[in-house]
Structure 1
Amino acid sequence: MTASGAGERSRTATRRAVLASGAIALLALLAACAPASSADSPFAGRTLYRSPDSSAAIAARTGGTAAEREAAARLAERPTATWLVPERLPAGEVGPAVDALLDDAAGAAALPVLVVYGIPDRDCGGHSAGGLARTPYLAWIDEIAAAIGERSAVIVLEPDALALAEACPDAAARPALVREAAARLPATTTVYLDGGHSAWLPAERMAELLRAAGVDRVRGFATNVSNTRTTSEERAYAHRVAAALGGGHAVIDVSRNGSGPPADASWCNVPGRTVGEDPGPLDDEVVDAVLWLKPPGESDGTCNGGPPAGQWWPEAAIALTGGG
């Protein structure tokens, strides 16, 4: 081979290397700019956490009749979110409870899902009325955040807070408070703001409220929490909201939607409902997962014969599992 031929080959190889490196850089840039897909879902390859201290698990061990224990045991088999409510876990207690739960989840190599539910004027005087005033609420959020630390968790933040905002006295301040609460949660958490459901606000209006609450700074939004809309309805709704936002991700509560909604659109301890599909990830560009967020068997409130909100109701557990 002549010296000139060797030099030409060297120059050609150099040009190819430069072009290849440029192509790799371009692909990396495009990947960085592309919307997140189901491949980067926080649920991909993860096992969802089942708490041994859930209401269903406790009822399965200590319930009254054999039918009550059997129904509770069936519900306890499914990974279900843990609700953090200040009336049950006040300041000084919520941190240790979260720490213990995340330790147990880590020991099981599982991903915990938490629902944070303590905003001022919660439920606007409805069946789940309560919550904390602004300053103690943010301190309570800080305690939760400190307990989580650098560990991972999925958090659904303040069910109904945004969709109910216009019916509450603090309508203007509520999205800003949700935004501040979300900003205080650790970067290791995957946060979904509550986004109502398909039969509540129009998707465009829900998107406006989510945007005001800082949805662009978190993973996305949750739909159908504690409701019974079908999964297909909620997937379509989630896509409409995401389109109105210009992108985003969602999770859907399917814990009690197995029979769909009642004809009258009521939601509180609705008779004739059944549990939905098993929780887990979805292969969907918007919906990351379907989850059991509302624990089946816990009452919605003192309606249709139920006990106060959040209390275990054996009769409901039996009905939801098809036994009544």
Structure 2
Amino acid sequence: MRLRIKPTFRRVRSGRRITAAAVSFVVMATTFVMTLGASPASAATACRIDYSASNWGGGGFSANVTVNNLGDALSNWTLTFAFPSTSQRVSQGWNANWTQSSANVTATSMSYNGSLATGASVQIGFNGTYTGSSNPAPTSFSLNGVACTGQPPGEDPEDPGENPETPADRVNNPYAGAGVYVNPDWAAKARAESGGSRIANQPTGVWMDRIAAIAGTTGARGLASHLDGAVQQDAANGSTPMVFQVVIYNLPGRDCAALASNGELGPGDLSRYKSEYIDAIAAILARPAYANLRIVTVIEIDSLPNLITNVAPRETATAQCDTMKSNGNYVNGVGYALNKLGDVPNVYNYIDAGHHGWIGWDDNLQPTIDITCQAARAQGATPADVWGFITNTANYSALREPFFTANTTVGGRVLREVSGGWVDWNRYVDELSFAQDFRTKAASCFGSNIGMLIDTSRNGWGGSARPTAASTSTDPITFMNQSRIDRRIHLGNWCNQSGAGLGERPRSAPATGIDAYVWIKPPGESDGSSSQIPNDEGKGFDRMCDPTYTGNPRNQNNMSGALPNAPLSGHWFSAQFQQLMQNAYPAL
């Protein structure tokens, strides 16, 4: 089930109603909020814990803990919790007497801070160490020996009282039986192109890629205007529900490994991200006028996976990604967005999960799931705030490779085990198998009903270069190159790819575990400029968008495969739009 653990009623995917207290936890400078409540043994004890941890790198971290007393006054207190891993150790603490046995930690009050009136709080903390790639936060706390129930003193957790909040009904798959909003701004550009009217009625994502986009910019309407348009389209559809797709894309230090899509907020601008961006968006989405829409939010593409693949000591590391891992603002920002947007009853949050050509290797996939789980427990969020994941956003990975798998044997060799080949030890060769497996593996944190979306806007790879049968070569590398649908020079190439085509048209429930194929990246909008273009949007010049670029470790020093004469990311690129239509698969 997809549980929304908040201090209100929420509808879960199975349709069963629950009520629970806020439960969240974090790592890497995120905020942990857990309500500690009464048990029958001590009905007057209740508290909330605010826990924030900052990783230093090299296995060190510090944690600040605030004990908020929500129950009767205390003359002394003992806080206990267990680390998820026995490798996590308290090395030095303050404002409490800290002891640890195995994974179990105890903090007792000092002579000067044991007295806590109702509503009062005390701040304590510690420095610690851990081993491994993650530093997960504790999942439960007790105060003065009382187990946490998440209820105020004396309140029955099974009885919400006389006036519970009206439950918010969320459907299992927001796309099922629904229309999807057609962005009039994109549709007008598509219709203006020769042949573009053939696809101008397709639904695409609305991108909020900077604070100014919320109110609207030159040539692009703002969020409220788009939502008003979705209400109008909903009315025109009669009784059919309407999905509105919006991309949340403005993290501090955005896209730390891709200069073309850098953003306006610096690495430390988390407060602006919260107050000027997420809070503003959440306030608009929560307006009663939009309550009947199913609002799908795509949360911060190309962010969390960067903290796995593009940080030290990886060869692919960048200084910017090291900074974002160290300061925790990707995890904090995503957690805050999930929490605030997830509080809107008709919002469905989907976190970006990269794509198979990025995350499909063994040392990338599970760590990526782990860090999304951490983010889903940051800043007051819970995994219940996550309705699903999206793969291949604004990318080109083929939906299916019909002529081989990673385990196909050619010339006596398993393709996956051919170093330097197209597969090169990846577990996956296409996006559908990757998305379905990602879903299965993510269930341990997010539940077995978690949903998946796949962006198919530019992964069709049709046209004359599309193979029609498997190669007959007995050389594994030749076989892969002649048989593969994805015609990129290298899987690491992501900018305005030459030869790409429109993919599967948006539709609901196309395969097991997949909520929908979607066009989140509007076809015809550039990935980045092919040369330096001064701008006031915070967007840099990335050589991966330069067709003359010979590459870097992230694409194993291959040519970029990018189209020439491209404009800034998000700006209209007519030549690309025409190519996408020409190479569409299925064909237009």
TM-score range, shorter chain: 0.7 to 0.9
CA distance in 1, matches of 2:306, 2:247: 17
Q: Which moved more, 1:239-248 or 1:266-275?
A: 239-248
Shift in Å, 1:31? 7.4
Contact 1:206 1:241 in 2 (8 A): no
2:570 to 310, 313, 318: 310
Corresponding position of 2:263: 130
Amino acid at match of 1:230: A
User: Does 1:226 find its partner at 2:384?
Assistant: no
CA distance in 2, matches of 1:316, 1:301: 12
TM-score normalised by structure 1 residue count: 0.80
Which structure is higher in helix share?
Answer: 1
* Partner deviation per Cα, 1:216-274 (whole Å, 9 max, x = no partner): 42101110001111223222112222222223211010000001531412111110010
Corresponding position of 1:16: none
Equivalent residues in 2 for 1:40-59, closer than 5 Å: 40-54=172-186, 56-58=187-189
What is the SS of the residue equivalent to 2:174? coil
Corresponding position of 1:180: 336
Equivalent residues in 2 for 1:120-159, closer than 5 Å: 120-124=252-256, 125-132=258-265, 133-139=269-275, 140-149=277-286, 150=288, 151=291, 152-159=294-301
CA distance in 2, matches of 1:257, 1:71: 19
Equivalent residues in 2 for 1:53-202, closer than 5 Å: 53-54=185-186, 56-58=187-189, 60-61=191-192, 69-86=193-210, 89=213, 93=216, 97-109=222-234, 110-124=242-256, 125-132=258-265, 133-139=269-275, 140-149=277-286, 150=288, 151=291, 152-166=294-308, 167=310, 168=321, 169-172=323-326, 173=328, 174-185=330-341, 186-201=344-359, 202=364
Corresponding position of 1:243: 440
CA distance in 2, matches of 1:86, 1:191: 19
Shift in Å, 1:75? 3.7
Cα separation, partners in 2 of 1:294 and 1:244, compared to 1, 3 Å: same
Shift in Å, 1:121? 0.9
Cα separation, partners in 2 of 1:165 and 1:72, compared to 1, 3 Å: farther
Which structure is higher in strand share?
Answer: 2
Query: What runs of 5+ residues in structure 1 fail to find an aligned partner?
Result: 1-29, 34-38, 62-68
Which protein, 1 or 2, shows the higher relative CO under an 8 Å CA cutoff with sep ≥ 6? 1
Cα separation, partners in 2 of 1:264 and 1:77, compared to 1, 3 Å: same
CA distance in 2, matches of 1:147, 1:87: 13
CA distance in 1, matches of 2:278, 2:216: 12
CA distance in 2, matches of 1:108, 1:294: 21
Corresponding position of 1:18: none
Amino acid at match of 2:346: T
What is the SS of the residue equivalent to 1:282? strand
What is the SS of the residue equivalent to 2:251? coil
Corresponding position of 1:22: none
Indicate the RMSD between aligned Cα atoms, in angstroms. 2.3
User: Does 1:270 find its partner at 2:497?
Assistant: yes
Amino acid at match of 2:514: V
User: Does 1:322 find its partner at 2:582?
Assistant: yes
Contact 1:57 1:72 in 2 (8 A): no
Shift in Å, 1:283? 4.8
* Partner deviation per Cα, 1:182-217 (whole Å, 9 max, x = no partner): 111123111101111111123312211221121442
Report the structure number with the largest CA radius of gyration: 2
Contact 2:298 2:351 in 1 (8 A): yes
CA distance in 2, matches of 1:32, 1:187: 15
* Partner deviation per Cα, 1:153-189 (whole Å, 9 max, x = no partner): 1110111011112431111511232011111112311
What is the SS of the residue equivalent to 1:200? helix
Query: What runs of 5+ residues in structure 2 fail to find an aligned partner?
Result: 1-13, 18-170, 235-241, 311-320, 377-382, 401-429, 462-484, 530-544, 546-562
CA distance in 2, matches of 1:138, 1:224: 26
- The alignment-based identity, stated in percent, is 30
What is the SS of the residue equivalent to 2:351? strand
What is the SS of the residue equivalent to 1:170? helix
CA distance in 1, matches of 2:506, 2:264: 28
What is the SS of the residue equivalent to 1:161? coil
Cα separation, partners in 2 of 1:159 and 1:281, compared to 1, 3 Å: same
Shift in Å, 1:323? 7.3
CA distance in 1, matches of 2:285, 2:568: 29
What is the SS of the residue equivalent to 2:517? strand
CA distance in 2, matches of 1:198, 1:51: 28
Cα separation, partners in 2 of 1:74 and 1:236, compared to 1, 3 Å: same
* Partner deviation per Cα, 1:38-96 (whole Å, 9 max, x = no partner): x8211111011102122x423534xxxxxxx2244334221111111116516x559x8
Cα separation, partners in 2 of 1:217 and 1:131, compared to 1, 3 Å: same
